[in-house]
Structure 1
């Protein structure tokens, strides 16, 4: 699902979760992220009831149990580390949760990649086995911050090294935006793709994974646009902008370039100025 799944043929993780319990892909997406951030079966049950008012409480509970067993798995005693601790097994995400919990309960919890420490307020010697949801959430969110920091450093270096006229503008959740001189826009897009390759490689290496699938090595697409909008093809018609971006401001749709289109626009992947 992670390496080869795609939204188009309904083989990605969100589509699989949706078909498992009979909900829409968008609803499954809410479940999947909530689970990764530490939400439990009770939360899943409430969401199912919210999404489908015809479900009974017992039916929602049964569906939540099916979903969690298939994804997070079941905790079983294991002798993998020689101490008989309980680990998640049997689910598509069991290993991920074992890794998250191992970091959260370590004597000195640090993010796996840049080694950033957890706040003293949540260190194991102060809270023992309490606040596990928050501690696991910290591993996820702070690792995302590590990802952002590595990207910013890589982009700054590539811009300086190859004389790309641009600067960091803003980061919003899982997006980074750059202001770039128009003539350098394709080289900047290539720099973003390369930055993702470098950052993904760093994460994989630090986690003991010494290979990187192409499906996650590059961005699925880099937006090139003249204005700040969610998608570069949105008309942005609103009560105060009834003529759209094109009609009111003569701003045409932007571009979305995958790695192949970016290579084509940069003469096979040249970062130097022509």
Structure 2
């Protein structure tokens, strides 16, 4: 994968990670169209996701600082801090991780195998479009996240491990179906993915160190990381504004367009 391909795919990742149109699906299709090395896709996928992670950390730096302080306070005085809303949010995030961790550890090899199939990606983009479109019928969205809801949203995150299914689209949509406030749904969606991406990055980093990465590969990975980080930060800000204006379901048309074009191309 050359530097230009890495830049373009990093840009795709940064934008599509936060817009509900499936970053993994776009990376598969993008690498197919650009002629990138699909066999090296998982390593590149995790690195550019790490760029997105850094964008989340920067955007939510104040909230994350508050969560850290509340977490430390809970460890020092659990009885006094157990009703702290920030401590409860930490608990909800941990619960939401469970489905993705179970699927990730038990089906990692299978997921990596289907990751390379652009036809499957096209089909799943159509599914993502349906998930997004149905949010227009979401009723009252004035509720807060609780323990059962956090687990259900975690199931949506695990389902989004299938390439072509948008993680942000699935988790935010399910939150809206459950009546969660729109901004809170977006915030929880991106906070809950922090430990998931961080864990995946650590596992992949270990594999990269064992196999080794050439200087040429390292340059491409750095370019992809920086592009994903910068574009992702601004895409995240844009999505929050759209969600507040209740325009979330409009992304369904884009998913149907890309998914439909993919089906026509790969079947014919």
Q: Counting strand residues as a fraction of each chain, which structure ranks higher?
A: 1
Q: Counting helix residues as a fraction of each chain, which structure ranks higher?
A: 2
Q: TM-score, with normalisation over the residues of structure 2?
A: 0.23
More RCO (CA 8 Å, sep 6+): 2
Which of 1 and 2 has greater Rg? 1
Q: TM-score, with normalisation over the residues of structure 1?
A: 0.23
